[in-house]
Amino acid sequence: MSDAEPEVLARVEGRVGRLTLNRPQALHALTTNMCRLMIEALVAWRDDPAVQLVLLDHSGERGFCAGGDIRMLAESGAGDGRAAREFFFTEYRLNHLLFHYPKTTVAIMDGVTMGGGVGLSRPCRFRVATERTTFAMPETGIGLFPDVGGGWYLPRMPDHIGLWLALTGARIKAADCELVGVATDCVESADVEELKGWIVKDPPAIETLLTEFETDAGRPTLAAHQDEIARLFSPPSVEAIVSALKATDSDWAREQLAILATKSPQTMKVAFRQLRLGQAQTFAENMEMEYRIAARVVRRHDFLEGVRAVIVEKDNAPRWDPPTLEGVTEQMLDAIFAPLPSGEAWTPLP
């Protein structure tokens, strides 16, 4: 991509509004500007009778969207956090706009779809995976938390799979994405460009087109562990989940224990509370809560240390603080979840 090209290509083709993420060198990691560009286009198309459908996709081959601009967030969090808060505020408005968008929306999740990419795709009515799709909410590994609506979507997945995804950061493929409702359809990646061409030609035929292009994603690998997840991730605290895993004599349980041992204890307990509260919230209430969490977590030790260890220096040896689940107190969590000062709270687009 040349410097002259915008980070999001927004245009109308036929009766379809197209938003193409155009930051391939960064796996389309979202910036504040990208979120603004998408909001601007979506608001313009919302009441435009010439636009019948909105299609979200990406340029290049590497994937849909790897998340947010983590380095920027960490640099801001190490300072006054203003730029990070501006990003989250804008991104969450975009997520909420898509969630309540009155026109048919389609996301092509070809390749990596993580973090911020989930926030873009999950609200869409049609979510098309391919054999290259890799979905994850990997935030516990860098001291962040599964945001962009994760507190609303994840607890609504069957059998505590959403909590398992949130705590472990597990990566799942197309068949599992269909199993848990992340994807509505699966298409061969080789057919994606043809499918998009037909959508542009005949947007009202979207359901028929997806049926015609549908491919068998295969057997979901999660199915083999669904009962175990339902049982072992149902206890009432992260500590109780760890105890249940320790008491289970299976290779899978031992593998989950080893994974959880690498994650930020603070983030795991934040995510656990976030998903519990999100079960009873509206989407807007969830986004307001997530903004409170984000505004604080982005400036805390674990996020800055997680980015250092995983993304900057890549030694993959973060030193979490507190280092244990027991060290993360309810008072610490209360401070992270507390209401923001008057005038600083997140609000949807007017």
Active centre residues (catalytic): 68, 116, 139, 147
**Contact yes or no for 21/57 (Cβ under 8 A):** yes
Pairwise CA distance, residues 302 & 304, whole Å: 6
Pairwise CA distance, residues 204 & 53, whole Å: 8
Pairwise CA distance, residues 329 & 97, whole Å: 35
- What is the separation, in whole angstroms, between the first and last Cα of the chain? 34
Q: CA distances (Å), 243 to each of 50, 164, 234, 238, 257, in order?
A: 57, 15, 12, 9, 9
**Contact yes or no for 105/206 (Cβ under 8 A):** no
**Inter-helix orientation angle 283-297/265-278, to 10°:** 160
Task: Measure the CA angle with vertex 87, ends 302 and 92; round to 5°.
Answer: 100
> Per the structure block, which two tokens stand in for 252?
């899978």
Judge residue 331's burial from the number of C-beta atoms within 10 Å of its C-beta, 0-12 exposed, 13-18 middle, 19 or more buried: exposed
